Structure 1
Amino acid sequence: ANDVVVQGSRLEKGSSEWEKPYVLADTPDLPDCNPVLFIDGKDRLRLVWIAVIAAGWENSLLRTKFSEDYLNPGPPVWNWQDVIILKPGEEFPKIIKKRFDEFDWDRGWAEYAPEYEVMIEEAAKDPRKRQTGWMPRIQPTTLPSGRILLPLYSDGFNVSLCAISDDGGDTWRASGPMVGMGPIQPTICRRKDGTLVAWMRDSGDMPPRVMESTSSDDGETWTAAVDTDIPNPGSSLTSLVLDSGEWVLVHNDTEEGRRSLSCKMSDDEGKTWKWERHLEKHPVNTFAYPNMIQTKDGLIHVSYSYKEEGKGASIKHVAINKDWVKQGD
């Protein structure tokens, strides 16, 4: 709906009540969706979101604004806003074809996959289509070099990539694509050896699993996205590297439905998940679209959509620590 806006609220340290919500972004006569809020490389509060054009996700316009005056109650004082136009180059369709060629189609999608492959490859050759429809969902990852990797995905291409900034968030360019059978909404963690791991929502073939792609060149290029053994019912997930080195993953840990929300923790950089505790589990209520940060006091803050049967949808915020996760259910 055209009256959809991006809203914000504050929870002051030590308080248990959130401020009254206020508008963060409102593009006249267009829906504003998929907001991601973070501190950029110049200590500015930066908002990235989309304005949806012609009621199609594939036509979405990636927008951004930043504030240098954001510590007081109420809405930030915005300094500037702009549109991020990414321009995946002529290598984009070539990489998509190369990655598809790496797949073994002797699977459930074997009959449909060639048509899907051709459709995506042909669309990728159109420079206009390559420049629109890139949408955020998860907070960015900042590398030791200061490079910011903002995960993005496209419902038009059914692939993902990163917007890369090497100047603190002032300018952005496109990485190579993360290609597979429907890998979208990536969340990215960095291993100590520099390898980047992107986990993604599965919007493709069976079985429904979290998908994984890796990069060994600081996010410039990515391997073909393949299934992990982690269940995923076609829902978004989020990950985080803690200050202490453990990795945390929050996701719907089922093959169908969003009635269970799991928090897993790994001490071997996401290769195995040693601990698990559920944030939510209910036969009817649903929980989805988690996001996560860690504050300086070590607390892990998780927010997610929370819908109780017979009631309207809301956003729930919880604060936990790693010891809570280690206790298990």
Structure 2
Amino acid sequence: MKSSHATWIFSLILMAAAQPLFAEPFYTGQLIAPLNDLHNHGSSVIELPNGDVLVSWYKGSGERSADDVKIVGARMRQGMEEWSEVFDMADFEDFPDCNVCMTLDREGKLWIFWPLVLAKRWETSILMSRYSTDYLGPDCPKWDWQKPIILKPGEKFAEDSLKAIESFEKELPEAGVGRLAEVIESLKEKVKDPYARQTGWMPRANPTVLPNGRILLPLYSDGFSFSLVAYSDDNGATWQASRPILSMGGVQPSIVWKEDGTLAAFMRDNGPPPKRVIYSESTDGGETWSRGVDLELPDTGAGVQALRLKNGHWLLLNNDVEEGRHSLGLHLSDDEGKTWKWTRHLELVEPGEGSFSYPSMYQSQFGDIHCTYSYKKKADGEGETIKY
């Protein structure tokens, strides 16, 4: 179906391999589906081997408390300019299915991951996965296999977490009083509880597949307000949990790698001010992580997406303001994140005039940068959708 809303859309072409650093950019795109009165959020976009663009997101009357929420998708065929009709990708009837992400493993299987929300609480969600080997047709992929991924963060997870919490207490003068003191004490008990450690892990950003084939699935917990990584060395057959990525509210990591093999995780800031993108590193393939630190880049506390380009440069896409989702900035680094010298805005309106968030992006085989994100703009009328 060709969208009737051909407003400013965004597919940014940087031609980042053999071209000059910033060749003349080309912008195009469309709304994937018309604005509607349901909640459309948390998109994931990838390129399939035949050049098709596949997008998935969750759609329903709410989020964790709405039992009609399901994972839907749409595709644009290679060489076409029209999106398919929206189709169902995953739906556990009468339970919310939320934040979805996708990847292709080195065997060519298409994976999707999402949380199945139980009891209308993020922290009791079950991480689900399914894959397809038959996904190049015009409609929804045909799924071969599905199962939950149950991780077992162990006692080391609890030890690391308790040490970090004690450190955070010393850094926050108000930590010992009032509501914050209650939250901290509750968190100390949660990290000791195996049930709490094994549930509530949710994806957001797309997985990263390392050159050696290891799949890194970034996860976070609203129960703990920190993150970890599930990793697989057998193309998704089995999964292990990393040690926690600890910080004051760093969640929903997005991972890229440096030339020397170091992994870099960029996270949204769900913690106290100042609101900044939170950063952590791993030097052992994602099994352990440094304590998260604030970068200079502002972040409102919404989804962050990082991308390593074919020429080694990095892109970072986020709501680059301390409050609101009215600004969606794309930042480019040519020195592996030491500096971010260039910024272009995909969306920028006055506060309250629009909401653009939870971006996903990839670089195509031709060098194009393709982005999707949740879209709501007063000037376009009522409703929301996903923009490409």
Q: Same fold by TM-score, threshold 0.5 exceeded?
A: yes
**Which residue of the partner structure matches residue 192 of structure 1?**
259
Corresponding residue to 1:285 among 317, 329, 354: 354
Corresponding residue to 2:384 among 313, 318, 322: 313
Please state how far the C-alpha of 1:102 moved relative to its aligned partner.
Answer: 4.3
5+ residue gaps, structure 2, are: 1-65
Q: 1:126 to 1:72 in 2, by over 3 A?
A: same
Corresponding residue to 2:112 among 47, 61, 76: 47
Alignment of 1:177 onto 2:244: yes
**Which residue of the partner structure matches residue 2 of structure 1?**
67
**Which residue of the partner structure matches residue 46 of structure 2?**
none
Query: Which amino acid counterpart does residue 387 of structure 2 have in structure 1?
Result: K
**Which residue of the partner structure matches residue 21 of structure 1?**
86
Query: Which amino acid counterpart does residue 99 of structure 1 have in structure 2?
Result: A
- Please say if residues 41 and 167 of structure 1, whose CA atoms lie closer than 8 Å, have aligned partners that are also in contact: no
Query: Which amino acid counterpart does residue 307 of structure 1 have in structure 2?
Result: K
Query: Which amino acid counterpart does residue 37 of structure 1 have in structure 2?
Result: M
Corresponding residue to 1:95 among 160, 184, 188: 160
- Please say if residues 109 and 205 of structure 1, whose CA atoms lie closer than 8 Å, have aligned partners that are also in contact: no
Matches within 5 A, 1:85-124: 85-103=150-168, 105-107=170-172, 109-111=174-176, 115-124=182-191
- Please say if residues 51 and 61 of structure 1, whose CA atoms lie closer than 8 Å, have aligned partners that are also in contact: yes
- Please say if residues 163 and 172 of structure 1, whose CA atoms lie closer than 8 Å, have aligned partners that are also in contact: yes
Corresponding residue SS for 1:254: coil
- Please say if residues 220 and 253 of structure 2, whose CA atoms lie closer than 8 Å, have aligned partners that are also in contact: yes
- What is the TM-score with the length of structure 1 in the denominator? 0.93
- Please say if residues 108 and 205 of structure 1, whose CA atoms lie closer than 8 Å, have aligned partners that are also in contact: no
**Which residue of the partner structure matches residue 216 of structure 1?**
283
Matches within 5 A, 1:130-141: 130-141=197-208
- Please say if residues 70 and 96 of structure 2, whose CA atoms lie closer than 8 Å, have aligned partners that are also in contact: yes
Corresponding residue SS for 1:60: strand
Query: Which amino acid counterpart does residue 344 of structure 2 have in structure 1?
Result: R
Please state how far the C-alpha of 1:280 moved relative to its aligned partner.
Answer: 0.7
**Which residue of the partner structure matches residue 325 of structure 2?**
258
CA distance in 2, matches of 1:266, 1:194: 17
Q: 1:279 to 1:109 in 2, by over 3 A?
A: farther
Query: Which amino acid counterpart does residue 49 of structure 1 have in structure 2?
Result: W
Matches within 5 A, 1:200-239: 200-239=267-306
Please state how far the C-alpha of 1:106 moved relative to its aligned partner.
Answer: 3.8
- Please say if residues 327 and 347 of structure 2, whose CA atoms lie closer than 8 Å, have aligned partners that are also in contact: yes
Please state how far the C-alpha of 1:110 moved relative to its aligned partner.
Answer: 4.2
Please state how far the C-alpha of 1:136 moved relative to its aligned partner.
Answer: 0.4
- Please say if residues 168 and 248 of structure 2, whose CA atoms lie closer than 8 Å, have aligned partners that are also in contact: no
Please state how far the C-alpha of 1:96 moved relative to its aligned partner.
Answer: 0.6
Aligned length: 317
Q: 1:82 to 1:31 in 2, by over 3 A?
A: same
**Which residue of the partner structure matches residue 133 of structure 2?**
68
Corresponding residue to 1:298 among 355, 358, 367: 367
The structure, 1 or 2, with the larger RCO (C-alpha pairs under 8 Å, 6+ apart) is 2
Corresponding residue SS for 2:143: strand
CA distance in 1, matches of 2:174, 2:272: 6
CA distance in 2, matches of 1:156, 1:104: 18
Please state how far the C-alpha of 1:151 moved relative to its aligned partner.
Answer: 0.3
CA distance in 2, matches of 1:125, 1:104: 18
5+ residue gaps, structure 1, are: 318-329
Alignment of 1:147 onto 2:214: yes
The C-alpha deviation readout for 1:246-283, integer Å capped at 9, x for no partner, is 10000111011010110010000011011111111011
Please state how far the C-alpha of 1:99 moved relative to its aligned partner.
Answer: 2.6
CA distance in 2, matches of 1:131, 1:294: 34
Please state how far the C-alpha of 1:129 moved relative to its aligned partner.
Answer: 1.1
Q: 1:10 to 1:197 in 2, by over 3 A?
A: same
CA distance in 2, matches of 1:301, 1:273: 20
Please state how far the C-alpha of 1:173 moved relative to its aligned partner.
Answer: 1.3
CA distance in 1, matches of 2:341, 2:258: 17
Q: 1:108 to 1:251 in 2, by over 3 A?
A: farther
- What is the TM-score with the length of structure 2 in the denominator? 0.79
- Please say if residues 169 and 176 of structure 2, whose CA atoms lie closer than 8 Å, have aligned partners that are also in contact: no
CA RMSD of aligned residues (A): 1.4
Please state how far the C-alpha of 1:197 moved relative to its aligned partner.
Answer: 1.0
- Please say if residues 138 and 238 of structure 1, whose CA atoms lie closer than 8 Å, have aligned partners that are also in contact: yes
**Which residue of the partner structure matches residue 273 of structure 1?**
340
Identity %: 49
